[in-house]
Structure 1
Amino acid sequence: MTSALPTNAVLLHSGSQSNDWWRSAVIYQIYPRSYAASNAGTLPDVGDLPGITARLQHIADLGADAVWLSPFYASPQKDAGYDVSDYRAIDPLFGTLEDADALLNHAHSLGLRVIVDLVPNHTSDQHAWFQEALAAGPGSAERERYWFRPGRDAEGNETTDGKFPPNDWTSIFGSIAWTRVCDRPDAPGSAWKNDRSWYLHLFDSSQPDLNWEHPEVREEFHDILRFWLSRGVDGFRVDVAHGLMKDAALPDWQFHWGMVDGGDKLASDVPPPPMWNLDSVHEIYRGWRSVLDEFGQDRILVAEAWVAPGQGIEKFVRADEMNQSFNFDFLCCKWNAADLRAVIKDSLAAMDSVGATTTWVLSNHDVVRAASRMGLSETGKGPNGIRTWEEQPDAALALRRAKAAHMLMMALPGSAYLYQGEELGLPEHTTLPDSVRQDPAFFRTQHAEAGRDGCRVPLPWEASAAGFGFSPTGQTWLPQPAEWAELAVDTQLASADSHLHWYRLLLQLRRDLGLAEGDLHDVSGLEDFAAFELALVNTGVHAESGMRGSIVVATTFAEPALVPAGWQVVFSSADLQPVEDAEGQTGLLVPADTTVYLQQFAS
């Protein structure tokens, strides 16, 4: 393979090889209740830790380097485990601490590292601290761990009998971000039935926000980190990492900060939010970094921060803080060359400015799956769920674009995250009946939003089994579409032309070509590649030879393009079409919405 590069290629990123595993890792997100069930938990239709352990070989065979598990802690499950009542216990729904240890040991035996979710912005209202705060009453020390405040009267004055919340903040899930203690469903007949204090919850009312100014809160989470690190976890994905610190004055802020896309949709003249992305949050993570370093240099922190490069996402991954931050700009980007080129360039520049890796992602448990939302009339982040009477995706177009986007993502330097089922080409379940929905966003918006259940449907493992083999009983906590039989793991393993086989080859190529560690150049404007609206050259370090070589990563959008003379196709996201030009020369036509990897013929 030639390593020649066009002289007028624009360098976007200088790559380097590193022993830091996370810089090039492919990390597979497991949503525990929907991955696999063993019936070891308390409900036969919900996935559990032994079920995950039994199916880890699938992830190892895929070629991932690590897994990230969404929460499995003790929880009332009002928000699928993101409402934690005990950070050191496993919810019986998922198993036991011994099951967690077995999962860790088996994952490590397969060469997989394990990252676990940590939810520090809020606890469950069933957490011992919050129950103590309710019992202790207004003005107590116990309430200082949270944000309890008096309400306001109609004129906006603070009063102990306030009928209105302390400020105008809104919940991410809809409605106001405050609940009055006496208005809680469990207040009538209780000791706090006359308690007119309000408490802050930027998510559901069952998820009160912690006060991170309080030293006990900081000490508690240092201990929680050590608890799991000592059990062998390799890192933590930090939920709502940008939200821990609030302006203590709690000033009004009439705007809304959305999930995942963050403040990108806010007008430029909107004042900075007093509850999101405050600089004081970084002191917390410097403290966490020192705790992780007690256990060696290979334990990592991953920021789920809904912050764009222009808003300071790079601050989270400075050398003394976190190791990775999710690139939600890439996930939310519309499917066109100009926007993608800008996001790739800006993302790499932001991370390079602090010597951090860029972390790419296309789907997760909070957004409509890429294999559906990319087939809507407007691409990008997509709606907050899809119901039967709303616009339905063009399934074939969505999958075609999603494959092209995944192939583009896997060619970019850095780390990549894969949400369970993406390797199968799973679409969103867009026909779920409202009667089965469980996402609090569906209820807090008075059913205006479908919510996130459609991307959380249990995986199909066996086409001919009840529940597609998800559980021994065939039960599933959310119904699966009948057409998923064609996408089941066993069906796809039996077909060399399946999406699963294609994805395995994609990850193998990523490793073999050293794409995660390569230099990246933009060659979109060069004559040979002008027909490709987006064309990048990745000069990766090839694993077997240690030599550098160039791969052109070329993506079409609305229009097809010809493979330039002198170049051959290494891999593609769709079948190419032989064509003949006026001189009788045969070439290959790359159809619209396709990514190809090209290499130059050796001279």
Structure 2
Amino acid sequence: MATRLATARTSRQAFTPEATTDPWWRSAVVYQVYLRSFADGNGDGIGDLAGLRARLPYLSWLGVDALWINPHYPSGGADGGYDISDYRAVDPDYGDVADLEALVADARALGLRVVLDVVPNHTSDQHPWFQAALADPESPEASRYHFAPASEQPPNNWQSLFGGPAWSRTPDGRWYLHLFAPEQPDLNWRDPAVAADFEQTLRFWLDRGVSGFRVDVAYGLFKDAGLRDNPGAYSPTLFGHGPEQAMTWNQPEVHDVWRRWRSICDEYPETMLVGEVCLADLEQVALYSRPDEMHQSFSFRLLKSPWSTEAFADGVRTALDAFGAVGAPVSWVLGNHDKDRQVTRFGGGEVGTARARAAALLMLALPGSAYVYAGDELGLPQAVVPDEAKQDPIFHRSGGARAGRDGCRVPMPWNDTAGVGFSGEALSGERAAEPWLPVPADWDRFAVSRQTRDGGSMLTLYRRALALRDAHPALGSGEATVDTRGDVLTVRCTAADGSVVRCVVNMGAGTTLVRTRGTVLLASTTRVRRSAGSIALPADSAVWLTED
């Protein structure tokens, strides 16, 4: 089934909210910045807003349209910033509100938009509300969380995604709900005070010029009102949560929250919401992007699929159909801060790198928006982090049985000097502190400075692909059809003006012949060979072809 999406190209010049009436987010390429690991501006070993501001020209040069910043708020530090203690402030490790305002202004001057992360499902246990609830069970703040009376057993069988029961005790014996770490108590969205406070948070940041929000755990918020047992125990599934988690996720009331948030964004021109919706059923995911709800919700199928024609073709088809049914663009994802790096997922080494290059061309050809995780454009593999240095609660709560996510959060390599250019000089003039996570000894081989000088590097491939996507109306918008023949996946992208680009991916073990009379726009490998009426496409590679 072909799915039509409105065409929308984003200017690479500086913009104002009135500069365009086109919905930029429909085909934008958004670059995800894990702030703590991107660039350290003051030499303390922690990435910050000053470091990010200094690297904005790199993002402009790369050719992305916007950047999404992982949580920058004051935090208890239990889960990489996703346990927030103040939603309308900046963690001192990263700077202050003035630094964020300066970042937004600098980005705007370069034609870049800034999207923030917002976490409405839970707070930190250090949040003033939770502290007040601990001190007084009868306080108004206590009703803003899920508490249950003291008893020998937890109120139900719900499990934490990080391992173990989803209920912990307070010092006075009560139980409280945390679907993640114990330091992340879940909010009770049936209390109107919760919704009112988050609406203030949205306006606080929108008034400072941000262009929208990535919404964490957007499928959560409401839980079964009776706290009934789930019909199945939590276990990670390939594509997301399904009926076995019916009481904890995807409650119908949650959609009213997004309708209200959408109405707030409508007051601020050119702003958007993109939701993290980890559900097994893509048709359910797409419902979060109906015209009166969030503008987008991520499609994680390609992020979670093995390297196979069948899996990737199904991931593309089902997403195009599900989101097309509600008139929304697909938000494609190949990597993020919660998943092993794609080079490693796809086999590691030369094979994994070749497949990651091919997957990048596929994603960037597809109609909709594309989200690129910082470092994926460098071909970073999953780093090996020593157990004693790991900070992810998944590793610690599982007793080491699960490796955790630290390996995809290692600092960004900028150059091949000591410390790979992650940290600037310390404010004291002394040598910069060690990075917050250890940098692998060979990380310099992936450095931006090296790859910019290499015409065949992963970084060069991304930059060329983004430039072509920006210039060619058939890439990133229009209509797409999907075809498979054996190990070859072909996506045919047709623009409103009738121009066509085919993305052909050879996911097999040997070279395949692709018939074409058109032009090779870009290939993921230099080993593509052309003969009369066809090209020889090597294994684990992709090519963009025009149809002349």
**Shorter-chain TM-score tier:** over 0.9
Extract unaligned runs of 5+ from structure 1.
1-10, 151-159, 183-194, 376-393, 525-529, 542-546
Q: Is the 8 A contact 1:531 1:561 kept in 2?
A: no
**Residues 294-333 of structure 1, C-alpha deviation per residue, up to 9 Å, x if partnerless?**
223x110110010244451111011111001111122112
User: Contact between 1:365 and 1:455, CA under 8 Å: does it hold in 2?
Assistant: yes
**CA deviation profile, 1:366-401 (whole Å, cap 9, x unmatched):** 0001111111xxxxxxxxxxxxxxxxxx31111111
Deviations 1:234-266 (A, max 9, x none): 101000000100011111124115488322xx6
Name the % identity.
Answer: 43
The residue number in structure 1 matching 2:401 is: 448
C-alpha spacing 1:15/1:75, structure 2 compared with 1 (3 Å):
closer
The aligned amino acid for 2:140 is: A
How far apart in 2 are the matches of 1:500 and 1:130?
A: 45
2:37 to 27, 34, 43: 34
Larger Rg: 1 or 2?
A: 1
- Give the Cα–Cα distance (whole angstroms) in 2 for the partners of residues 303 and 218 of structure 1: 17
**1:21 lines up with 2:16 in the alignment:** no
Q: Is the 2:234–2:244 Cα contact (8 Å) retained in structure 1? A: no
Residue in 2 that maps onto 1:154: none
Residue 125 of structure 2 aligns to a residue whose secondary structure is coil
* Cα deviations by residue, 1:452-510 (Å, 9 ceiling, x for unpaired): 00000000111123343434316211111122211111111122222211110011111
One-letter code aligned to 1:358: V
Distance in 1 of aligned mates of 2:104 and 2:530: 52
What is the deviation of 1:13? Answer: 1.7
- What is the SS of the residue equivalent to 2:476? helix
Contact 1:467/1:475 (<8 A) preserved: no
Displacement of 1:74 in angstroms is: 0.8
Relative to structure 1, the CA distance from residue 130 to residue 410 in structure 2 (aligned partners, 3 Å threshold; closer, same or farther) is same
Map of 1:518 onto structure 2 = 478
Q: Determine the C-alpha separation between the residues in 2 that align with 1:568 and 1:80.
A: 46
SS at match of 1:346: helix
Secondary structure in 1 matching 2:164: coil
Corresponding position of 1:171: 160
Cross-structure match for 2:251: 278
C-alpha distance in structure 1 between counterparts of 2:512 and 2:423, whole Å: 42
Matches within 5 A, 1:466-505: 466-472=419-425, 473=432, 475-505=434-464
* Structure 1 residues 216 and 257: CA distance shift in structure 2, 3 A: farther
The residue number in structure 2 matching 1:103 is 103
- Asked if 1:238 corresponds to 2:215, the answer is yes
Tell me: CA distance 1:491–1:244, structure 2 relative to 1, closer, same or farther (3 Å).
Answer: same
Q: How many residues align?
A: 526
Summarize the Cα distance change of 1:24–1:579 in structure 2 as closer, same or farther, 3 Å threshold: closer
* Structure 1 counterpart of 2:273, from 301, 304, 309: 301
Q: Could you report, residue by residue, the CA deviation over 1:27-83 in whole angstroms, capped at 9, with x for unpaired residues? A: 0000000000011xxx70100011100101111111100000000101121111100
Say whether 1:395 aligns with 2:354: no
Shift in alpha-carbon separation, 1:147–1:576, aligned structure 2, 3 A: same
CA spacing shift, 1:565–1:250, aligned 2, 3 Å: closer
Match of 1:324 in 2: 296
Which of 517, 521, 529 lines up with 1:566 in the alignment?
A: 517
Letter in 2 for 1:569: V
Q: Structure 2 CA distance, aligned partners of 1:476 and 1:260?
A: 33
DSSP 3-state at the match of 2:154: coil
Structure 2 counterpart of 1:459, from 409, 412, 421: 412
CA deviation after TM superposition for structure 1 residue 587, in Å:
5.7
Residue 597 (str. 1) matches residue 547 (str. 2)? no
Gaps of 5+ in 2: 9-21, 426-431
Residue 88 of structure 1 aligns to a residue whose secondary structure is coil
What does 1:5-154 correspond to in 2, within 5 Å?
A: 11-18=1-8, 19-39=22-42, 44-137=44-137, 139-150=138-149
Q: TM-score, normalised by structure 2?
A: 0.92
Q: Distance in 1 between matches of 2:238 and 2:204?
A: 29
Q: Secondary structure at the match of 2:515?
A: coil
Q: CA deviation at 1:17?
A: 2.2
- Separation in 1 of the partners of 2:53 and 2:479? 37
Which whole-Å CA distance do the structure 2 matches of 1:208 and 1:532 have between them? 46
> Which residue of structure 1 aligns with residue 174 of structure 2?
197
Say if 1:56 and 1:65 are closer, same or farther in 2 by CA, change over 3 A: same
- The answer as to whether partners of 2:255 and 2:288 remain within 8 angstroms in 1 is yes
